[in-house]
């Protein structure tokens, strides 16, 4: 009897929970309402069976409960019962599978008027490519991927030159226009998922997969990776913004084509030196930094990393948080740099400055820090030299007090929480693994023992790494 009662309670509770729970599907933003419908049908069919089977169980427990006087009867075959059960099960299974087949049919049939764009997945970020005016994607080959050609486009293919490249994890799409999403990965398996679209698909190296959809609702939607793809998996985020056609056109026109990127003159460190004059007051004439002004040494910093930070300061993605006092001091000088070329030039100049000696100021347990650093090494390199492919800047040869403030800023969301700061955002997630001040000190003490090529560390002589 008690078991029957518990079963009844579970049954009623489960059904009530389903209808009263606050956790529902996110608002639909694409044409794939049919996918929601198949999910609903599945719920109804499985829900119906769940209720019926449990009610029967409760009935059987009560009706046939132990009774010393009762004899059981043996009835191995019952043709009409078997016919009924087989028939009902067939209808149930068909109801579960048939709608899915219909939806899958339309999911793999791309409308003729769909425009196209490509999603490229890489540990641990997204980028995007649109065919240019010719409507044709240029050929790609993973062997052509270099720092200057991250998409691996074939420069000899005439279709490549007008391809529009979006080197950021944020992409815009026009509303109400069907779009075919082509996908490829340059390393492991990823999965492009926007919950509000309901559609998602794996990205595989050496293969182009696709899906299609029509965005139906303006707004900003998170892109997440739905295949476990390494330590940075959960931080592999992006954003799709569904906008009116005019807004899309205006944004699209601002994105560079492959031809433009190829034709762009190499950055000019000599022009950069002149621009650097305004930076000297804080970062020093040799880029040696000035602790009293909270300005880190930047001499020898990789140009791509300098450029990213300057762009972030300029756009306000960094240095605008009300508690980011030092970032706010830096920001106006980034806004003084007129355009992208100015940023590239000054970054190129900073890269040419000889790295300075860094004096350690933070005491911590480097051995314990080494263990903590293992995760960091995936993005910042085993020797803290930085890995451009995963957007991790060099950490070796950087002032340790600067690391401490930055890690505190990331942990508290003072840096990296801005809507446009997608890579800082990643580091906000990563900084959470340092749970105490002690963790921060220890990992920074370990970073102090690393000397990236081309950088000099005062502690490097202690034997951790050769001093170059
Ligand atoms: Cu991934």
The pLDDT tens digits of the residues spanning 222-276 come to 999 999 998 889 989 999 999 999 999 999 999 999 988 888 888 999 999 999 9
Q: CA angle 453-279-324, nearest 5°?
A: 90
Examine the pLDDT at 360 and tell me if it is beyond 90. no
Q: Average pLDDT in the 55-69 region?
A: 91
Convert 119-138 to b/e letters by CB count within 10 Å (16 or more is b): bbbbbbbbbbbbbbeeeebb
Q: What is the DSSP string of 167-181?
A: -SSEEEEETT--EEE
Tokens of 231: 């330590």
SS3 14: helix
For residue 139, what is the DSSP state?
Answer: P
- Return d(Cα 441, Cα 447) in angstroms, integer: 10
**Cα 224 to middle of ligand 1, angstroms:** 8
- CATH 1.10.760.10 in the chain: give the residue spans: 265-356, 359-468
Q: Is the pLDDT of residue 455 over 50?
A: no
DSSP string computed for 315-341: HTSSS-STT-HHHHHHHHHHHTS-SHH
- Find how far residue 314's CA is from the centre of its chain: 23
Question: Which tens digit of pLDDT belongs to each residue from 140-153?
Answer: 988 888 877 888 89
Cα 222 to chain centroid, rounded: 9
184 Cα to the center of ligand 1, angstroms: 11
* Distance from Cα 226 to the centre of ligand 1, integer Å: 7
pLDDT band for position 382 (50/70/90)? very high
Under CATH, to which class is 115-263 assigned? mainly beta
pLDDT of residue 419: 87
Instruction: Tell how many helices (H) and how many strands (E) occur in the chain.
Output: 14, 10
What's the 324 CA to ligand 1 centre distance in angstroms?
Answer: 31
Q: What distance in Å separates the CA atoms of residue 251 and residue 242, rounded to the nearest whole number? A: 12
pLDDT by residue (tens digit) across 170-182?
999 999 999 999 9
pTM: 0.83
- Quote the ligand 1 centre to 222 CA distance (angstroms): 14
**Cβ partners under 8 Å of residue 96, min gap 6:** 41, 42, 45, 46
The pLDDT assigned to 67 comes to 87
* Residue 316 pLDDT grade (very low, low, confident, very high; cuts 50, 70, 90): very high
- Band of the pLDDT at 453, cuts 50, 70, 90? low
pLDDT at 456 over 80: no
> Could you tell me where in the chain the CATH 2.60.40.420 domains are found?
115-263
- CATH code reported for the domain at 265-356: 1.10.760.10
| pLDDT of 457 | 44
Mean pLDDT of all residues in the chain? 90
359-468 placed in CATH 1.10.443.10: no
Residue 312's pLDDT band (cuts 50, 70, 90):
very high
d(CA 455, CA 462): 15
Question: Ligand 1 centroid to 194 CA: how many Å?
Answer: 13
Mean pLDDT calculated for residue range 412-419: 92
CA of 228 to the centre of ligand 1 (A): 6
What is the Å distance from ligand 1's center to 425 Cα?
A: 16
pLDDT at 465: 34
- The rounded percent of the chain whose pLDDT value lies above 70 is 96
Average pLDDT over residues 44-61: 93
Q: What is the pLDDT of residue 452?
A: 52
What pLDDT is stored for residue 285 in this prediction? Answer: 93
pLDDT of residue 134: 86
């Amino acid at each position: 009897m008690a078991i029957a009662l518990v079963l009844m309670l579970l049954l009623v509770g489960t059904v009530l929970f389903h209808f009263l729970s606050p956790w529902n599907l996110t608002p639909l933003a694409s044409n794939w309402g049919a996918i929601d419908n198949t999910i609903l049908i599945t719920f109804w069919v499985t829900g119906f069976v769940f209720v019926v089977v449990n009610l029967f169980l409760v009935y059987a427990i009560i009706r046939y409960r132990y009774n010393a006087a009762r004899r059981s009867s043996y009835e191995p075959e019952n043709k009409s019962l078997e016919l009924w059960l087989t028939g009902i099960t067939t209808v149930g299974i068909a109801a579960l599978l048939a709608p899915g087949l219909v939806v899958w049919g339309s999911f793999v049939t791309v409308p003729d008027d769909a425009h196209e764009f490509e999603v490229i997945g890489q540990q641990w970020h997204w980028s995007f490519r649109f065919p240019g005016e010719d409507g044709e994607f240029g050929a790609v080959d993973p062997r052509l991927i270099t720092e200057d050609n991250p998409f691996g486009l074939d420069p000899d293919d005439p279709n490549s030159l007008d391809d529009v490249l979006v080197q950021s994890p944020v992409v815009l799409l026009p509303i109400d226009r069907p779009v075919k999403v082509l996908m490829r990965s340059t390393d492991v398996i990823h999965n492009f998922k926007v919950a509000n679209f309901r559609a998602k698909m794996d990205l595989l190296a050496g293969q182009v997969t696709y899906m299609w959809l029509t965005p139906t609702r303006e707004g900003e939607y998170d892109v997440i990776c739905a295949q476990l793809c390494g330590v940075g998996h959960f931080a592999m985020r992006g954003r799709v913004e569904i906008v009116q056609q005019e807004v899309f056109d205006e944004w699209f026109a601002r994105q560079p084509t492959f031809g433009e990127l190829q034709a762009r003159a190499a950055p000019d460190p000599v022009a950069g030196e002149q621009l650097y004059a305004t930076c000297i007051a804080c970062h020093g004439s040799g880029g040696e930094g000035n602790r009293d002004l909270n300005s880190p040494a930047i001499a020898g910093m990789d140009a791509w990393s300098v450029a990213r930070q300057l762009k972030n300061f300029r756009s306000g993605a960094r240095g605008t948080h009300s508690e980011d006092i030092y970032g706010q001091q830096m920001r106006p000088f980034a806004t003084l740099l007129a355009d992208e070329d100015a940023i590239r030039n000054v970054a190129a100049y900073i890269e040419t400055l000889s790295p300075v000696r860094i004096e350690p100021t933070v005491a911590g347990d480097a051995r314990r820090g080494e263990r903590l650093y293992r995760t960091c090494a995936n993005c910042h390199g085993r020797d803290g030299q930085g890995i451009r492919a995963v957007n991790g800047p060099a950490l070796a040869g950087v002032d340790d007090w600067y690391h401490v403030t930055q890690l505190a800023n990331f942990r508290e969301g003072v840096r990296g929480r801005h809507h446009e700061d997608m890579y800082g955002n990643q580091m906000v997630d990563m900084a959470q693994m340092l749970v105490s001040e002690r963790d921060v000190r220890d990992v920074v003490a370990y970073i102090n023992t690393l000397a990236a090529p081309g950088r000099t560390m005062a502690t490097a002589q202690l034997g951790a790494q050769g001093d170059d």
